[in-house]
Amino acid sequence: MNPRPTPSPFSPIAIGPLTLKNRFIKSATNEGMSAQGVPSKQLVKLHSALVAGGTAMTTVAYCAVSSDGRTLPNQLTFTQSSLPHFKALTDGVHQAGGLASAQITHGGCFTFIRERSTKRPLSASGGFNKIGLMSGMFLKQAMTEADMQQVVREFAQGARLARQAGFDAVEIHMGHGYLLSQFISPMYNKRRDQYGGSLENRLRFPRQVLRAVLDAVGKDMAVICKYSVTEGVRAGNSAEDGAQIARMLEEEGAHLLVLSAGMNAESITTMFGSSFPKENRVQQKNKIIALAMAIQRRKEPTVEFRELYLLEHARKVRAAVKMPLAYLGGAKSLASIEKIMAEGFDLVAMGRVLLAENDYVNKLESGASRDSICTACNRCVAMMYTPGGTSCVLGQPGDAVLNSQQAASR
């Protein structure tokens, strides 16, 4: 049982040096709203609307810390030249009454970018690259300590640039099969040195990244880690491992953990809690994404959505640490949100629900609504690759014209 008083989801909370006006975070989702690697005007419009609708903090997804760290060609990337466009986004969010978090990432071998500074994409271990089946990069390259220290510096610099761009928080992506996850996961990490083997060793490099980011911006910004509590496959980390990971990230000083699950290539239904509909694959025009979805269809059984589908796993983390935790995974009603609060979680992170209704939090607080209109159909995932970017199929599609314009352009 949770010994602490149950907070209202509409009450403020301190996360590191930051205070959020309520307990709702828009989770990072690939919106498909980057124009030549910088935020589009449509991305500014989306995130501004989310905080105007009551969400305390919105997370801008997949901001690569280097050109090599990108997964897709148009991915948002932190550089000096991109700062005016990120600043336009954070200005819009702040003017709408909310806070902005930048999710900083490096894809490692989970990439479709062939133009890179290394011969092969970097990862925890070398050898066959299963992600490369979709891009022709069939081999990956094990990182040296020099490579790791370079990436540590890139994460720290990415965090500094995020601060310069006006972001209030940074979220280090340690899940879903990207580079830091490739070190944490026994499926990817086959090293025999101090960065491989035991879970503690596999966390060594991600902890170095976290420490560098905390040292760089931790006094001014909330430093958040998002990771996969369970990887959803027998050969991967379990929820018991996820609890141990949380202890180590707490020990290192993270201000908040966002509790996700699953891996992009091996267990995407663990992440989303339900299967992708047939329509997502048939109508997908991006050949790489269509192939990835087709592979998932053959690999995974049909999974029906249920609310709070990750709660059983998240409970193990809650029991292991005292630090603030954000629950993510199938909260789409006031009853579910209140249950999360009652079980000792500090915040709730939502993706699909807020894409369906960007004013859902205000509706909850006013009593105008209890249940979200979101059906967890996952069609918003395929909508990320349309000209207007992601949107809920129950509403209007994104504005393709705004999505083609860089945020700071006149």
Positions marked active-site: 178
Look up residue 249 and give its amino acid: L
Q: Where are the alpha helices (DSSP H) in 283-351?
A: 287-299, 311-320, 334-342
Chain centroid offset of residue 287 CA: 23
Please name the helix (run of DSSP H) or strand (run of DSSP E) that holds residue 173, with its range, or none. strand 169-173
CB-based contacts of 65: which residues, under 8 Å, 6+ apart? Answer: 77, 78, 104, 105, 106, 151, 154, 155, 157, 158
Euclidean distance between CA atoms 97 and 349, whole angstroms: 18
Classify burial at 75, counting beta carbons within 10 Å of its beta carbon; exposed 0-12, middle 13-18, buried 19 or more.
buried
Please state the φ and ψ torsions of residue 64, each to the nearest 5 degrees: -65, 145
Q: Are 50 and 254 in contact (CB under 8 A)?
A: no
Residue found under tokens 């990108």: 70
| Angle in degrees, 0-180, between the axes of helices 239-252 and 204-217, rounded to the nearest 10 | 40
Euclidean distance between CA atoms 174 and 172, whole angstroms: 6
Q: Are 177 and 149 in contact (CB under 8 A)?
A: no
